[in-house]
Structure 1
Amino acid sequence: MLHALLWQSNADLVARILDHPFVQGLDDGTLDRESFRRYVAQDAFFLRAFLKAYAVAAAKCDDFDQARVFHDLMGGVFDEIQLHQNYAATLDIDLSNVRPYAATSAYTDFLQRVAWHESLAEIIAAMVPCMRLYQYLGSELAASLRTDHPYKDWITTYAGEEFAQLCTRLESLLDELATDVPTVHEAYRCAMQCEFDFFSAPLEKDS
């Protein structure tokens, strides 16, 4: 399966992300509140671009069943946005006034460029890493989850069955529409590198 090949081809970056100080802080609950606050704001900004990329992908579909998959995936993004809105209420974040960090802009600009100018294969390849990586991280971090964990909601959301099913549907679409060509590998790799950079930015006060 192409999705498995791409995931394995990026195992080095996946391992680096799992060991990233931000992710390890999420894991043991020691991530400082301000870094998480910055992350929530940036991720909410990012999700708007992710939602638009799904919408463009759906518009490019000639097949009704494929378009339905993107419709359902957009619903998953709305659920993620709700999670961030809940955090925003408790962390006093104004999500309507977020200044994107350089890493965030690089990621969203990449997504929008691929969505508007590339084929469905490249669009999906650019979007799968976010979905599969978060599902992987949620599952890994859930293994040591405790009832009083400060980031329990984040971990359980991405470790949940509903999110896993959406991820699997997107990967199935990748297998259906994409082939093992350099442009697909490049889109996947670029997105995974953007994920690493995205986790780094909230740890830096001047990102």
Structure 2
Amino acid sequence: MWALPRDLPTSDCAGLRAPRACATVLGTGCSGAGKRAVSTRTRAGPKQLPGQAPAGAGDGCPVGVACGNVCVSSHCAEQDPMHSAELWHQSLELANACLKHPFVQGIASGRLERSCFQVYVAQDAFFLEAFTRAYALALAKSPDREGLLVFKDLLNGVFEELNLHKAYAASWGLDLAPEPLPATSAYTDFLLSTAALEPVGHITAAMTPCMRLYAYLGQSLVDHVEPSSPYKEWVETYASDDFEAMVCRLEGLLDDYDGDPARIARHYRTAMRLELAFFESAWQAGHV
């Protein structure tokens, strides 16, 4: 089972905590970016929140936190520019900007204001509605059985998470039909346009960053999150092997499917920028 927060809603990564999705991916191997995120983790050293770099840290990455700048492959420099590991490597600064963002740091410390997380949840509901359509279009365009299975599992997960959102909204008195913030609209417009008009390889490039980023955040924070943080289970969910396995399956499709290399790289980086904007938008709106 996915470790669902008892009192907190889920994130904007399209319902990948669903038990049905997880049950199909246990034991799945991972190549590329997924291995890097796991292999560079360490449980040694003092407790220190990610983003709080010690003096002398040349790359600004905190001790004991996987900042993603280590390539698992010995031939990283020669990597196919469309390979998921290389696409991730090219967006490391955006991933680390998300990791160090006060919204994410507040999740780790437990000090994130409830108002910020409420904004995040409400915007997430809008985001998930768009993701159901993007996943459905990707499934329809899948050229092979593996693509059909992966996108089916993702789509099932979205519907399960939407049901969870309804339960959270009822307990919190939240409106799950809010006016989308500009950052939310920009992200959903990008995904839906790509899914409607472009081939499945391009769609996969636009959808993978969300999943890889959240696995990275969870794996980076899990050894640093405060035990008393109300968001602890949120972190543990994205650090889980189950979530990593699903990320690897989608990255496998990204590596297998053809497309225009320039557009694939652009879509991947665009999605990473939009992820950072989503955090910033919730942070700003939650402080109004």
**TM-score of the superposed pair, with normalisation by structure 2:** 0.67
Residue of structure 2 equivalent to 1:192: 272
Residue of structure 2 equivalent to 1:69: 150
2:148 counterpart of 1:44: no
Residue of structure 2 equivalent to 1:57: 138
1:150 is paired with a residue whose SS is coil
- Runs of 4+ aligned residues of structure 1 deviating over 3 Å after TM superposition are 78-87
CA drift at 1:154: 1.7
Quickly say closer, same or farther: Cα 1:32–1:152, change in 2 above 3 A: same
Quickly say closer, same or farther: Cα 1:180–1:5, change in 2 above 3 A: farther
Residue of structure 1 equivalent to 2:222: 142
Quickly say closer, same or farther: Cα 1:32–1:23, change in 2 above 3 A: same
Residue of structure 1 equivalent to 2:11: none
Q: Which one is further off, 108-117 or 58-67?
A: 58-67
**Cα RMSD for the two superposed structures:** 1.9
2:260 counterpart of 1:201: no
2:198 counterpart of 1:118: yes
1:204 is paired with a residue whose SS is helix
8 Å Cα contact 2:209/2:271 also seen in 1: yes
Counterpart amino acid of 2:132? L
Structure of higher CA gyration radius? 2
Residue of structure 2 equivalent to 1:19: 100
CA drift at 1:64: 2.5
8 Å Cα contact 2:110/2:226 also seen in 1: no
The sequence identity of aligned pairs, in percent, is 47
2:180 counterpart of 1:105: no
Quickly say closer, same or farther: Cα 1:178–1:19, change in 2 above 3 A: farther
Counterpart amino acid of 1:27? A
Cα deviation code 1:137-172 (max 9, x no counterpart)? 111121123443111232122222222111110000
| Unmatched segments (≥5 aa) in structure 2 | 1-31, 33-82
CA drift at 1:37: 0.5
CA drift at 1:75: 2.5
8 Å Cα contact 2:110/2:230 also seen in 1: yes
Count of residue correspondences: 206
CA drift at 1:80: 3.8
Distance 1:106 1:113 in 2: 11
